[in-house]
Amino acid sequence: MTENFVFSGHDTVALAQKYGTPLYVMSEDILRANINRIKDAFESAGAVYDVNYAGKTFLNMGMCRIIESEGISLDVASGGELYTAVKSGFNPARICFHGSNKNQAELEMALGYKVGRIVIDSEWELERLQLLTEELEQPVKVLFRVSPGIEAHTHELIQTGKLDSKFGLPLSQAREIIGRTKEMNYVETAGIHCHIGSQIADEKPFLLASEVMLDLYKALLSDGLNLTEINLGGGFGIPYLKEDPSFDVTSYIPKMVDHMREMAEQREVPMPKIVVEPGRSVAAPAGITLYTVGTVKEIPGLKKYVSVDGGMADNPRPALYGADYDAVICNKPQDEALMEEVTVSGKACETDTLIKSIKLPSPQSGDTLAVLHTGAYNYSMASNYNRFRRPAVILLKGDQSAVLVERESFEDLVKNDRIPSWLED
Q: Which pLDDT score is estimated for 159?
A: 40
- Cβ atoms of 28 and 35 closer than 8 Å: no
Q: Which residues of 289-302 are buried (b: 16+ CB within 10 A; e: fewer)?
A: bbbbbeebeeeeee
> Does 88 lie in the same domain as 107?
yes
> Does 298 lie in the same domain as 251?
no
Cis preceding-peptide flag for 22 (omega within 30 of 0): yes
- Mark which of 282, 308, 332 sits at the end of a domain: 282
What is the CATH classification number for the domain harbouring 146? 3.20.20.10
Average pLDDT rounded to a whole number, residues 139-154: 83
Q: Which pLDDT score is estimated for 165?
A: 65
- Cβ atoms of 162 and 150 closer than 8 Å: yes
Angstrom distance (rounded) from CA 278 to CA 376: 11
> Does 15 lie in the same domain as 49?
no
> Does 196 lie in the same domain as 125?
yes
Known binding residue 300? Answer is: no
Is position 35 within any domain? yes
Is position 424 within any domain? no
> Model confidence over 297-308: pLDDT tens digits?
999 988 999 999
- Mark which of 228, 257, 282 sits at the end of a domain: 282
> Model confidence over 72-98: pLDDT tens digits?
999 999 999 999 999 999 999 999 999
Angle at 314 between CA 284 and CA 388, to 5 degrees: 160
A 10 A CB-CB count for 177 gives: 17
Angstrom distance (rounded) from CA 340 to CA 359: 5
Average pLDDT rounded to a whole number, residues 47-64: 97
> Does 356 lie in the same domain as 313?
yes
Supply φ then ψ for residue 119, to 5 degrees. Answer: -95, 115
Known binding residue 148? Answer is: no
Is residue 99 left, alpha or beta, with left meaning phi > 0 and alpha meaning psi from -120 to 50?
left
What is the CATH classification number for the domain harbouring 389? 2.40.37.10
> Does 219 lie in the same domain as 86?
yes
Residue 330 is a catalytic residue: no
Is position 398 within any domain? yes
Angstrom distance (rounded) from CA 299 to CA 233: 46
> Does 237 lie in the same domain as 315?
no
Is position 310 within any domain? yes
Q: Which pLDDT score is estimated for 53?
A: 98
Known binding residue 180? Answer is: no
Q: Which pLDDT score is estimated for 152?
A: 56
- Mark which of 234, 267, 282 sits at the end of a domain: 282
Is position 181 within any domain? yes
- Cβ atoms of 369 and 344 closer than 8 Å: yes
Q: What is the pTM of this model?
A: 0.94
pLDDT at 160 over 60: no
Known binding residue 350? Answer is: yes
> Model confidence over 348-400: pLDDT tens digits?
999 999 999 999 999 999 999 999 999 999 999 999 999 999 999 999 999 99
The 8 Å CB, 24+ separation contacts for 352-358 are 352/311, 352/312, 352/319, 353/318, 353/319, 354/308, 354/310, 354/311, 354/312, 354/315, 354/318, 354/325, 354/327, 355/318, 355/324, 355/325, 355/327, 356/318, 356/324, 358/326, 358/327
Mean pLDDT, the chain, integer: 94
Is residue 311 left, alpha or beta, with left meaning phi > 0 and alpha meaning psi from -120 to 50?
left
Catalytic residue among 64, 194, 330, 349: 349
Known binding residue 317? Answer is: yes
Which residues on neighbouring strands pair with residue 49, listed in sequence order? 274
Is position 265 within any domain? yes
Q: What is the 3-state secondary structure (H, E, C) of 110-168?
A: HHHHCCCEEEECCHHHHHHHHHHHHHHCCCEEEEEEEECCCCCCCCHHHECCCCCCCCC
- Cβ atoms of 306 and 360 closer than 8 Å: yes
Angstrom distance (rounded) from CA 274 to CA 30: 24
E strand map for 17-104: 23-27, 49-54, 73-76, 95-97
> Does 158 lie in the same domain as 302?
no
The total of structural domains in the chain comes to 2
Angstrom distance (rounded) from CA 290 to CA 126: 44
Known binding residue 156? Answer is: no
* CA-to-CA dists, residue 19 to 29, 88, 347, 370, 381, angstroms: 20, 24, 20, 14, 21
> Model confidence over 199-242: pLDDT tens digits?
888 888 889 999 999 999 999 999 999 999 999 999 999 999 99
Known binding residue 321? Answer is: yes
Domain range for 339 = 6-25+285-414
Name the band, by pLDDT with cuts 50, 70 and 90, for residue 157.
very low
> Does 240 lie in the same domain as 342?
no
> Does 366 lie in the same domain as 232?
no
Is position 421 within any domain? no
pLDDT at 156 over 50: no
> Does 245 lie in the same domain as 169?
yes
Name the band, by pLDDT with cuts 50, 70 and 90, for residue 278.
very high
- Specify the range with the lowest mean pLDDT, choosing from 70-84, 150-164, 262-276, 353-367: 150-164
> Does 380 lie in the same domain as 244?
no
Name the band, by pLDDT with cuts 50, 70 and 90, for residue 163.
low
Is position 341 within any domain? yes
Average pLDDT rounded to a whole number, residues 49-55: 97
pLDDT at 425 over 90: no
Average pLDDT rounded to a whole number, residues 161-178: 81
